């Protein structure tokens, strides 16, 4: 009996040691796992430029953050006159996903410039591409706010309508920035983003589920969503919530579709609770949730617009034939015409 007890006790010590070491490693290395700045290979050494994609009207920027980090950015300009003296009246701020750098997103940026007729400012987060520093939630939030402040300091951009775009973890960045600056921005576009990093981990790496409490890079978007109650007046004097466009992939293998649906519902419920009874009746009258058709689900409520694309995954949503049409239609209605 004593031998069995010793074996059990010894096994318990070994297991505890392994769990402890695993937890320590996960805690210390999670930034490298979450912020895959070196994937694909040479992403910290090579960055495509807008000129590589026939976008010649651009600036290669160094933006200094309040904590002294220099981040790299491209400003792609959209001129509306042949003399190139007038810029487009809207500017998209683009926050990319967790891998690669801003150069990898330039084909998408080009489509935004062409389809929406806007300027685009895209950054490589700290620790990405040629930007200085190490990536972290706290640091990237500083990068995001610094980027927005940069726009408002430029005479040629400060009066443009600002729309924030974020894909995957970039969506968490975009949610944070838009929530903090609702009175200064004009729209928010989110693609395949999540509720919180801790809630995402079990889907990505099921074996790490017991260790989610060790995740200090939390990105708690579900809490930030509760802040989206601000209303601003449009050109007709009507008060409206910030327009938000949600782009979801039916076959997303990284962010569960259920999380994105919950994100949508949190937004709508938050705005519903902050609305008057009359506003609720107007908003909800005759507006019932349709079944999801084969190709796309389109629905609007409380200025939250929802689109789901069939047969595309987490990283290839933009290849869906209706992707840019959806964005352009939303843009024309909620940005250009307001």
Residue 12 pLDDT level (bands cut at 50, 70, 90): low
Calculate the dihedral angle through the C-alpha atoms of 142, 144, 146, 152, rounding to the nearest 10 degrees. Answer: -150
The pLDDT assigned to 292 comes to: 41
Q: How confident is the model at residue 33 (pLDDT cuts 50, 70, 90)?
A: confident
pLDDT in tens, 36-76: 999 999 999 999 999 999 999 999 999 999 999 999 999 99
Q: What's residue 245's pLDDT?
A: 97
d(CA 155, CA 246): 31
CATH of the domain at 35: 3.40.50.1820
Instruction: Average the pLDDT over 161-172 and give the result.
Output: 98
Q: Taking the complete model, does pTM exceed 0.85, yes or no?
A: yes
- Of the pLDDT bands very low, low, confident and very high (cuts 50, 70, 90), residue 19 is low
Q: Is the dihedral of CA 6, 7, 12, 15 positive or negative?
A: positive
Number of domains in the chain: 1
**What is the C-alpha separation between 118 and 91, in angstroms, rounded?**
5
- Between helix 106-116 and helix 323-331 the angle, nearest 10°, is 50
Statement: residue 291 has pLDDT above 80: no
Helices marked H in the chain: 2-34, 106-116, 137-153, 169-180, 197-204, 221-224, 257-273, 277-284, 323-331
Residue 95 has pLDDT above 90, yes or no: yes
Token representation of residue 196: 């919180």
**pLDDT-based confidence at 313, cuts 50/70/90?**
very high
Strand 231-233 relative to strand 296-301, pairing: unpaired
Look at residue 125 and give its three-state secondary structure: coil
Domain that holds residue 314: 2-336
Q: What is the mean pLDDT of the chain?
A: 89
User: Tens digits of per-residue pLDDT, 204-216?
Assistant: 888 778 888 888 9
Looking at residue 27, what is its pLDDT?
63
For 267, what's the count of Cα atoms within 13 Å in the CB-facing half-sphere?
A: 26
**pLDDT > 70 in the chain, percent:** 88
311 vs 325: CA distance, rounded Å: 17
Longest CA–CA separation in the chain, Å: 92
Query: Does residue 294 carry a pLDDT above 50?
Result: no
Separation between Cα atoms, residue 167 and residue 178, nearest integer Å? 14
């Amino acid at each position: 009996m004593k031998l069995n007890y010793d074996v059990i006790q010894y096994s318990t010590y070994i297991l505890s040691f392994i769990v402890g070491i695993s937890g320590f490693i996960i805690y210390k290395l999670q930034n490298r796992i979450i912020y895959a700045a070196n994937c694909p290979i040479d992403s910290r050494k090579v960055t495509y430029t807008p000129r590589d994609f026939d976008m010649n009207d651009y600036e290669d920027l160094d933006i200094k953050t309040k904590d002294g980090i220099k981040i790299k950015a491209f400003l792609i300009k959209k001129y509306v006159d042949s003399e190139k003296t007038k810029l487009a009246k809207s500017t998209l701020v683009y926050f990319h996903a967790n891998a690669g750098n801003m150069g990898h997103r330039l084909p998408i940026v080009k489509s935004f410039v062409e389809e929406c007729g806007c300027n685009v400012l895209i950054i490589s987060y700290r620790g990405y591409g040629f930007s200085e520093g190490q990536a972290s939630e706290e640091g990237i939030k500083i990068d995001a706010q610094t980027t927005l402040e940069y726009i408002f300091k430029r005479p040629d951009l400060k009066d443009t309508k600002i729309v924030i775009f974020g894909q995957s973890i970039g969506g968490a960045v975009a949610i944070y920035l838009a929530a903090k600056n609702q009175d200064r921005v004009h729209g928010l576009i989110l693609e395949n983003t999540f509720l919180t990093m801790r809630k995402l981990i079990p889907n990505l790496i099921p074996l790490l589920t017991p260790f989610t409490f060790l995740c200090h890079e939390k990105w708690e978007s579900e809490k930030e969503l509760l802040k989206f109650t601000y209303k601003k007046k449009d050109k007709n004097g009507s008060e409206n919530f910030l327009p938000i466009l949600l782009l979801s992939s039916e076959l997303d293998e990284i962010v569960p579709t259920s999380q994105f649906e919950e994100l949508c519902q949190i937004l709508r419920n938050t705005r519903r609770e902050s609305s008057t009874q009359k506003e609720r009746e107007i908003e909800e009258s005759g507006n019932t949730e349709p079944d999801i058709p084969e190709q796309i689900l389109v629905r609007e409520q409380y200025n939250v617009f929802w689109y789901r694309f069939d047969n595309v995954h987490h990283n290839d949503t933009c290849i869906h034939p209706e992707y840019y049409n959806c964005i352009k239609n939303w843009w024309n209605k909620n940005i250009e015409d307001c």
